[in-house]
């Protein structure tokens, strides 16, 4: 007589108790700007830093951790994300001005950090108003825009390692470079100290208005998108290379290279994650064919692909 195979326990039943919320099979397409992607095997929204630290310390070691901000520069593949996806909420959004510094939780919106700094008369953080994400995401990729990046203003970052131990890392220990951070992927940023310089509040707000107007004029900000798709190669602008390769307006299924700014992919309404990623890879192929330059993805891609037919690329 053959022995019956035991049914594997659902992941959510293997996880430690938390004060926050654990949700199995959570739909991530509702929380990403592209509005595509499969579910998180388990989504964890910790109540606060202590809740998150305790969870990381007690979780099974074989369970992968993925951190999700507001999903603005992220593509979740259609097959979903295995393991636990951590999404920082209200317990991580505090922003405080203290002298020439801003202390912000990793869940705080970049725009709100810039506004707090402006109201405190601190210049130098205006560029954050043009980055539609959170402090944690900005730290993870050394986000930048309009001539500045996080490395220019960061004093230190607070981060929990994979076992929940707290580390306060000064700028020099983060290994920041262009769109890169050397901190391990399974460590979770929970806060940062940023430094500004005193300036006139009106002048700071005026510069932020200029950034807002520039974004609205040049980028498809009112369309489901993931922000800048590819990093700028040394000495080049990605959008110019994409345009030179004839990719402006290129489509795959419901995905399209923006006519307004061709370093942006957009979901025209029916795109899948496979459409978007496949279109991005086709853009990379055409740019390399025409220019000899291989573009690197700036958008973070996570999860597993779903099985299915690949749609054709069309101009």
Active-site residue, from 179, 215, 252, 284? 179
Query: Which of 276, 312, 309, 313 has its CA nearest to residue 77?
Result: 276
Identify whether the C-beta of residue 37 lies closer than 8 Å to the C-beta of residue 272: no
| Known catalytic membership, residue 179 | yes
Active-site residue, from 228, 277, 284, 286? 228
Rounded CA gap, 162 and 159, in Å?
A: 10
> What values do phi and psi take at 171, rounded to 5?
-50, -45
Q: DSSP letter string over 138-192?
A: HHHTT-EETTEEHHHHEEEEEEE-TTS-EEEEEGGGS--BTTB--S-TTSEEEEE
Looking at residue 90, what DSSP letter applies? G
Rounded CA gap, 280 and 63, in Å?
A: 30
| Known catalytic membership, residue 298 | yes
Query: Which of 165, 103, 169, 97 has its CA nearest to residue 140?
Result: 169
Catalytic residues: 179, 228, 298
């Amino acid at each position: 007589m053959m022995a019956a195979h035991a049914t594997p326990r659902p992941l959510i039943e293997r996880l430690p108790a938390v004060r926050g919320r654990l949700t199995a099979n959570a739909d991530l397409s509702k929380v990403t700007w592209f509005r595509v992607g499969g579910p998180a095997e388990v989504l964890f929204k910790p109540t606060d830093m202590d809740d998150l630290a305790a969870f990381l310390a007690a979780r099974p070691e074989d369970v992968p951790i993925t951190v999700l901000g507001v999903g603005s520069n992220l593509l979740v593949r259609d097959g979903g994300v295995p393991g636990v996806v951590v999404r920082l909420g209200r317990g991580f959004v505090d922003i405080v001005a203290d002298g020439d510094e801003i202390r912000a939780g990793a869940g705080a919106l970049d725009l709100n950090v810039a506004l707090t700094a402006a109201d405190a008369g601190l210049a130098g953080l205006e560029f954050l108003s043009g980055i539609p994400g959170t402090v944690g995401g900005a730290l993870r990729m050394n986000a930048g825009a309009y001539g500045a990046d996080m490395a220019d203003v960061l004093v230190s970052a607070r981060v929990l390692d994979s076992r929940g131990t707290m580390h306060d890392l000064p700028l020099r220990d983060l290994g920041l470079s262009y769109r890169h951070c050397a901190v391990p992927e399974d460590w979770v940023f929970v806060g940062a100290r940023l430094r500004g310089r005193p300036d006139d509040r009106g002048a700071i707000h005026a510069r932020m208005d200029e950034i807002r107007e520039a974004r609205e004029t040049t980028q498809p900000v009112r369309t489901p998108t993931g922000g800048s798709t590819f990093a700028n190669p040394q000495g080049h602008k990605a959008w110019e290379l994409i345009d030179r390769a004839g990719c402006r307006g290129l489509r795959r299924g419901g995905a399209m290279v923006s006519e307004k700014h061709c370093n942006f992919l957009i979901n025209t309404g029916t795109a899948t994650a496979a459409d978007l990623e496949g279109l991005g890879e086709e853009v990379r192929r055409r740019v390399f064919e025409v220019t000899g330059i291989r573009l690197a993805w700036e958008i973070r891609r996570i999860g597993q692909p779903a099985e299915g037919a690949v749609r054709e690329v069309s101009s």
